[in-house]
Structure 1
Amino acid sequence: MKPGWFAHPVQSGLIAGTWLLLQQSAAVPQLITAAVLGLVLPRLLHGFTGTPVPPKAWGTAVRLFFVVLRDIVVANVTVAKLVLLPWARPEPAWVPVDLDIRDPRAVTLLATIITTTPGTVSCVVDEAAHRILVHALDGSPGVDAIAADIKTRYEAPLKEIFE
């Protein structure tokens, strides 16, 4: 089934906006190019992106965005301290996080959030066992505490957004 021209309006807007930011210009030729790219690229990439499904809780999605943004800034400072301070002794740890979410987009987004936050990496997403194996640069808070933090800060809002 062929997608409509506005099948992914948010993606279209992001592509057009990104083009204008990269060009650092809002001249008429750049506006036309941005509009064409914003309309054509999502249509061409439809087979890869699938059918758009809007989030069920926009307020939660916005709050999650700011939680993740804050966590990335804080984690950057924490990782910098661990790397730069000679007396810092990080304790790397493998953290299994059992998942309550089942939506594959939510699981993918959770793994992306974990990997984007400095000091943690989603290493294995086990769909059959509904678990993500996370490597933490510093596991000194404890494996259970880290898993509980991931579930509370990221998984719970994703569950509300997608399920």
Structure 2
Amino acid sequence: MRTRFRSILPSIPLSLMIFVFGILLADRITAGQIVLAGILALVIPQVSRRLEREFARIKSLKPLPRLACVVLYDIVRANIHTARLVLGPERQLKPGWVWVPLDFKNIHGITALASVITLTPGTVSAELSDDRKYLLVHALDLPDPQALIDEIKTRYEAPLKEIFP
């Protein structure tokens, strides 16, 4: 009986949260909205149960303060550089795409790396290869693709490899 109940509702807290948010997000509470929230509360946990999960493993938080300072400095520096590019002549822009090879496959570390890249003005992470070996990055100003790759690997990926094994 218990296993049959778990097959219908694999995660009661998740179902309750989905139901409550389904009601809260509605403009007004109607019978149809309650039914829709109930259906979503039953279906979404079923679908999410089938997803591949990878739990975060953290080796050390020691590099985190230094990484935070580097990221904050780079954000300020990139804001100034990007403002100059955007306000300057359009012909000075040299946008481009580059595949950054990754030295680690931990999805949480890769997500942190992609977030840091996207937080830095003038760059955005666009895609992760299926084998998790490359991250596609777009840069507003890309005169030297290898220099961008080297900067990402030394300033961001190296400390993240120390945090996420």
Q: TM-score by structure 1 length?
A: 0.64
Given candidates 72, 78, 81, the residue that maps to 2:81 is 78
Which amino acid is the alignment partner of residue 123 of structure 2?
T
Change (3 A) 1:66 1:90: same
Given candidates 104, 109, 113, the residue that maps to 1:106 is 109
Aligned partners of 1:121 and 1:136 also within 8 Å: yes
Change (3 A) 1:52 1:118: same
State the match for 1:153 in structure 2: 155
TM-fit CA distance, 1:87: 7.1
State the match for 2:96 in structure 1: 93
TM-fit CA distance, 1:50: 8.1
Aligned partners of 1:96 and 1:132 also within 8 Å: yes
RMSD of the alignment, in Å?
A: 2.4
Establish whether residue 135 from structure 1 lines up as the match of residue 155 from structure 2.
no
Change (3 A) 1:150 1:59: same
Q: Distance in 1 between matches of 2:120 and 2:137?
A: 12
Q: Deviations over 1:18-48 (max 9, x none)?
A: xxxxxxxxxxxxxxxxxxxxxxxxxxxxx9x
Aligned partners of 1:100 and 1:130 also within 8 Å: yes
Which amino acid is the alignment partner of residue 70 of structure 2?
V
Aligned partners of 2:54 and 2:107 also within 8 Å: no
Which amino acid is the alignment partner of residue 106 of structure 1?
G
Change (3 A) 1:103 1:87: closer
Gaps of 5+ in 1: 3-46
State the match for 2:164 in structure 1: 162
TM-fit CA distance, 1:146: 0.5
SS class of match (1:133): strand
TM-fit CA distance, 1:102: 1.1
Which amino acid is the alignment partner of residue 163 of structure 2?
I
Larger Rg: 2
**Identity over the aligned pairs, expressed in percent?**
46
State the match for 1:59 in structure 2: 62
Equivalenced residue count is 116
Q: TM-score by structure 2 length?
A: 0.64
